[in-house]
A = this chain, B = another copy of it.
Amino acid sequence: MSPRQSSRKSEGSDKVGTICRALRRAIIEQALEPGAKLPEDALGERFGVSRTIARHALGQLAAEGLVELRRNRIAVVATPSWQEARDAFDIRIELERLVVRQLAGRLSKNQIATLKTHVDAEDAARNGPDAVSIRLATEFHILLAQMTNSPILVRYVSEVAYRCCLTLSMFSRPHSSECAINEHRQLIAALAAGDEAKVMALMHTHLDSVASRALVTPAPPRGRDLLDILAPYADEEDNEPAAKPAKSARVRTAAE
């Protein structure tokens, strides 16, 4: 049912990509909050595709860290812990410093104009809904990354920026982004001037202030995961060298 097929012959499709983009956007605009359920059926029906495709899209988003996938359970929007959010911001700072370092003094007039136009759009949306402001602010950073012409950098900056957006949903209170807009303008000016050191410092303080505004709670609001709380205690080594598992000292992660 719902044949949704435009029955175009060469239909560029990329249905998976479409779903991913839609969900990403919904997530960063906080239409989908952390913990929101994402059943495959519902997604498939909503986008007019089968569960197979919806599932694939969820897999991709999980690889980006925006979605949590647990076996035999409904996928949910990721709920990063406070520490994970902090880590994401730390990584983001380094990556974006790299971006502006590559960009300083190398932007064309066109590119600078593009950036200015974008910030103007941010300004115009200042009194609109928070969701739009947040999205535009994030897109400014992604725009910068794209100008490096480095696909890898674009991907990582985008991913980590989206993840940081997620943390805004979780820990931040009603956003006030005027200062951020101003900082964006300063960044553009420094980029145009080609002052590498200054632009890197600006980016650093900019993201740092965003982070500290976002992560208002100094203490981890943990309790999310018992294992996490117990981690420091489990670590205490009473000499049991490599007798057993190679990397016994690690408690969690299990990323391997």
Name A's B-contacting residues (CB within 8 A).
12-14, 16, 52, 55-56, 59-60, 63-65, 71, 83-84, 87-88, 90-91, 94-95, 97-98, 102-103, 106-111, 113-114, 117, 142-143, 146-156, 158, 160, 163, 231, 235, 237, 240-244, 246-256
Instruction: Out of B110, B149, B255, name the residue touching A155 (CB < 8 Å).
Output: B255
* A63-B60, A256-B142 known; A91-B156 Cβ under 8 A: yes
Instruction: Out of B108, B152, B154, B163, name the residue touching A242 (CB < 8 Å).
Output: B108
Instruction: Out of B149, B237, B248, B256, name the residue touching A252 (CB < 8 Å).
Output: B149
Copies in the complex: 2
In the bound complex, what is the Cα–Cα distance between A87 and B106 (angstroms)? 17
Q: How far is the CB of A135 from chain B (nearest CB, A)?
A: 13
* A65-B155, A154-B253, A155-B255 known; A247-B84 Cβ under 8 A: no
Query: Would B151 and A254 count as touching, CB distance under 8 A?
Result: yes
